[in-house]
Chain A
Amino acid sequence: MFPHILLSLLIWIPVLAGILVLMTGGDENATIARGIALTAAIISFLLCLPLYLLFNANSYAMQFNEFLPWISVFNINYALGVDGISVPMIILTNFTSLIVIIAALEAIKYKVAQYLSAFLIMQGMMVGVFVATDSLLFYVFWEAMLIPMYICIGVWGGKNRSYASIKFFIYTFIGSALMLIALLYLRLQANSFLISSFYTLDLPLTVQILIFLAFFAAFAVKVPMWPFHTWLPDAHTEAPAGGSVILAALMLKMGVYGFIRFSMPITPDASLILSWLMITLGLIAIVYVAYIAIVQTDMKRLIAYSSISHMGFAILGCFLVYSILRITGNYHDAYLSIEGAVVQMISHAFGSGAMFIGVGILYDQLGSRLIKDYSGVAKTMPVFAAFFMLFAMSNVGLPGTSGFVGEFMIILSAYQAHFWVAFLAASTLILGAAYTLWMYKRVFFCPVVAGSGVEKLKDIRSSNLVVFILLAIGVIWIGVYPEWLLHLLHASVDHLLHISIQQRL
C-alpha cells in the first residue's frame, strides 16, 4: 500500500504542514510554527529513505507510479512517477528544505510562520516538479513554486527587494509561457499530456527547432544561461539566506532537469543541430561569468555569479553528448558527460547552498554583504571559517569534495569533443580558484580591522552548526564516493540517452 502514495506524501505533507503553520498566525506563536515546520521537514526527509531503498536502480522505468484522472475533458492526469534522475533530485530537495528550515529557526524573527510556510509549500511544489509525469501537472508545479519564492524575496528580502522579486517573476514567467505553448502543441500531436507520449513523436525539423526554442526560453532562464542570467544576481542578493539556498540548490537545477527530461528526448534532432549553440553558451557561462565573478564586491553576488558559471558545466555536460557521439561514434563514451552534468547539479547544491548560508550568518551579525567590510573573520570565528573553507574548496572543485566530481567528468568528456572546449572548460580551475579564494582571503584572512565589528563576531553554534555539519557530510560524501549517486543514474540515463540521440526525421 505504502509505496503507492509515497510520492503524493512527499508532495502534500509539506504543503499541508505549510498551511497548518500559516494558521498559527502571528509571531507570538512562533515556537509552535517552528515545531510544526521542523517536524514536517524531518518527516519528509525521512520519507526519502523508503524512496531510496525501494527504488530499483536497475530499471529505467518510472517507479512509484500514481495515476488519477484530473481534468478528464482535456485528458490531464495526476500522474506521478520517478526514475533514476528524479530520485536524487527529490532527496536533494527534501535535504535542502530541511537545511533551510533548520537555518531559519534562529535567523528568522519576523513573520516566522509565514516564512516557514512559504518554504514548506515551495518544497512540496518542487518535489512535484520532479515527480510529475504529466506535462501539464509539471507545468502547474513549475509555476506554483514561483509564488512562494516571489513572496519570500518580496517580504524578507533586502533593500532592493521589490525590483528583484518582480524581475525574478517576470523573467521566469515569460519563459514558462512559451513552454506552455510548446506543451499544448505537443498535446495536440500526441493526444496526451504524458511526457512519455511525447518521446515517440516524429516531428519535422522546423517544428522540433521551434519547440526546442520554446523549451529553451523556459529552461535557459531558469538555469540561468548567459545572456538570460541577469535576474539571478539580483534575486540572490536580495533574497533572504534561505531563499538564496533554495534558488541555488534547487531552482537552477530545474532548468537542467528540463533540458534532460524535455528538450533532448522530445526534440533530439533539434538538440543535435543546436548543440553547438548550447555548448557555446555553456562555455561562455563558464569563462565570461567567472571573469565577472572575480570583480564582484558583494559576497552574495559573487556566489551567484559562481553558480551561473557552475551551471554552465551542467549545460555543457548535457549537450556534449552530441559532439562526442559524432566524433567517437561510441555511445558509451557519452555517459560520462551527461552523468557528469547530473552530478554537477547535485554537488553544486551543497557547496553554494552552504556558502549562501554562511554569508547569511555574517550578514545577520554585521549587516553587510560587502567584502570590504570584513577582514580576519577566521580570527574571531575559527569554526565557521573552517567550514566555509571546505565549502569554498568544493566551489573551487577540489578533489575529495563534491564540486570536483562533476567538473572532472565533464572536462574529461569535453576533451573527446574538442581540445579547445576542454581547455575553456578547464580554465575554471584557475578562474574558480581566483574568485573564490580571493574572496576568502579578503574576508577571512588578513588582520582584523579595529572598529569594523569583526572583533565582536560570534562563532557558529547550535542550529547553524548542525546545518554546516550536514552540508559538510554531503560535500565529502559525494566527493569521496560519488558512485553512491551514480549507480542510481545509470539505467535512466541510458534510457534517456537512447531516446535523445535517435533520429526522428
Chain B
Amino acid sequence: MFPEAFVLLLLVAFNAGSSLGKDNERFHEELVVRPLSGDHVNTYFQFTTRWHYGEKDNLYHTQLTPRVIAELLQQFAVKELHIGLTQGLWRYETWGYPIVEATSGAEMWAWFSGSNLTNGEVDRQWKELANVFSGVLCASLNFVDNTNSIAPRHLIRPQFMPANGQRFVRYSTLPREIVCTENLTPWKKLLPCGSASGFASLLNSGHVHNTKYHSLGLKVRVLCEDHDEENCIVELTQTANLVYDLRLFELSNNDFSLRRLFGMGLNGFCELADSSKIYVQRNEQGERFQLVPAPTQEVRSTRGGHSVVYSVYDMHEQFKDAGERLFNVAWLSPKSEGRRRNLAKPSLPPVTVHRYLLGHGQERGRIVTEVTNSHYDALPIMVQEVVPWYVHAYLHTLSIRRKPQRVNEYGRQRLPFKLLHYTPGKQRELPSHLEIGFMLPGQTSALITIDVDYLLLKWLEYPPDANHGHYIGAAIVSSQLPMGRNYTALPPEGHLFEHSFNATRPSYVLSLHTEALIVSLPTPDFSMPYNVICLACTVVALAFGPIHSVATKMIIVGRQASAPKNFVKKIFNKIFRRGKAGEEAPAEAEGAVLGAAAAAAPLGPSGFGSSRASRTTGGPSGDQPLLEDLDEEEEEQD
C-alpha cells in the first residue's frame, strides 16, 4: 500500500577552492509569518548554522557555531540532539500542523553512536548531556535521569546515522517545566549575532511571552559523508515558534504589523548571515490581507498536491542602501471587513489527536488517547507512551476500539495491533514505555485505553506543591501521510525553510504530540504530623498534672476537736483564721484542687478517708482538712 521507505541522496555543493574558513560555515536566518484561522498569527523564526568542519580536530576552533556545540561533539558520542522548551498547546484542529513539533514543557532526545559504546556509558553521557544543557539553557533539564528516560524502539528515528557502529537513543520529557525569559536569553546568546541585530532582535521577552503558544527549539545533527567519518557537517538549528492572538491587541480591525507583534521594527539583518529572509503566507488565511510594503518576490510551492503561496522579503535587498532605519511589514485587511471576527473554517488536518484521563478517585484511572483519521484512506499510526513510575499501567487492559468518525459512541469493534513494544516500569527506577502501531481505516477514530493505578508516594517524594498534581508526559503519535495538505515541516535532508518548497515526496512523516496529563496522586495532609504532635502533647500535659499529684500526694484528714456551734462564732472563727493563716493560702488553694481531683478518682490511703476528706473540704464549715505535701519540689508541667 505504501511506497518503500525512501532513501534520499543529497548533494551538498561547497565553494571548493576558497581559502577562507568562513566559507565552510554558513548562517541563515528566516522568519515565516502565517496568518491562522481564528485571528491568530503564527510567526516562526529559524536560525541555521551549518559548518562543514571536516575532521574532528577542527572542532577546537569555532567561528559561527557556538563553542558549546563543538565541545559537545568532542565530549560525547552524540550525533543528533533535539531540545524543545514550550509553553502552551498547539491546536491542530484550527491551526493545522506546525513547522516544528513540540510538547508543553521540556522535551529532549538524542542519538548516540560510536565505537565501544555500551548502554551504561550512554546512560552516563545522556545524564551529563542533560546537565550541560540545563546550564546552557537555564532549564531544569538536570532532572532528566533514568527514572524518566526511555530508549524508544520504533517511533523516534535518526535523521542520519553513520553506517557502522551501534546506535543508541534516549528520550525524556519534563512536562512541568516552565519557559520564560531566563530560557530565551541564553538561547539567543547561542546565535552568532546574539540579540543585537537581525531577526533575533525582534525576540524581546515581553512580546514573546504574551503569546498563546511559544516554543523554543534547538536541534543539532552531524551529517557525514557515506562511509567517511572524517568529512562531516555539524548543523545547529534554533527555532522559535510563536502564536499571537490578535484579539488580545484590542484593535479596531484585524490589521497587524511586525511592529505590533514584536514591539519594534526590524533593525536590519545579522551581518554574519548568508541569507536573511521573511516569508509571508499569502493563500488560505493570508488571502484577506494586503501587504505594505508590497513584496518584490513571490514563491508558489506545490507539495504533495497542496499549493502554498509565499511572498518573500530579502533583508539584504531591503537594507542595501545605508542609513539607520527600521523595517516593518504591515498586514492590512480590507476596510469593509472592519472588526469582523474571522470565522472561516479551516480545512481539518488528516490526523488529529487528543488525550484525557478517565475514572475518579485517587486510586485508579484510565489513560485514553484518541486518534482521528479524517482522510479517506487508511493510515498507519504509531503511538509512544511514557508512563512515569508513580503510575502503574496494566498491559492486559490495553485495547484499541474504533468508531466511524460521524458516530458518537465507541462500539465493541477492536483494531488489531501491528506492533506492540512494552517495557514495564519499575518503582522509583524506570518509567513504563509503550509503543503500539496499527492501521487506522479512513474516516475513523481510534480510542486507545490502558488502565492505571496511582501509587502512594513516600513522604519525601512529594514535591513542595504536592497538591498541584503529578504530570504524565504527552504521547507522541506518528503517521505517514500520502499527501501534503496542512503539512509544513521541513524535509529531513533540508535545513532551510525554502527547502520545503516543491519538496514533493512519496509520503510525509507526521509526528504529533498529545496533551500532557495531570493526575492527583493520593496526597496526605502534610501538616497532620504536626497537628498530632501538638494535640497529643496538650492532652498528655493536661492529664499528667492531676494524675501525678494524686499519685504522689497523700491526703491526711484531721478532725478539729471543737467546732464552733453558733453562727456568730462560726463567722468570727472564719475571719480570725483567714487573718492568721495568710501564708497558708496557696497551700489551701492547692488543697482544694487536690480535693476535687481526689473526689473524681479516690486514690487516697483509704477510700473511706478520702471521700470524707472531699466532703469536709467541700462543705462551708466543720472539719478542717490538714493537707500535707509529700513532695513539694515538683511543679505541674505544661
Query: Do the two shown chains form a genuine complex with each other?
Result: no
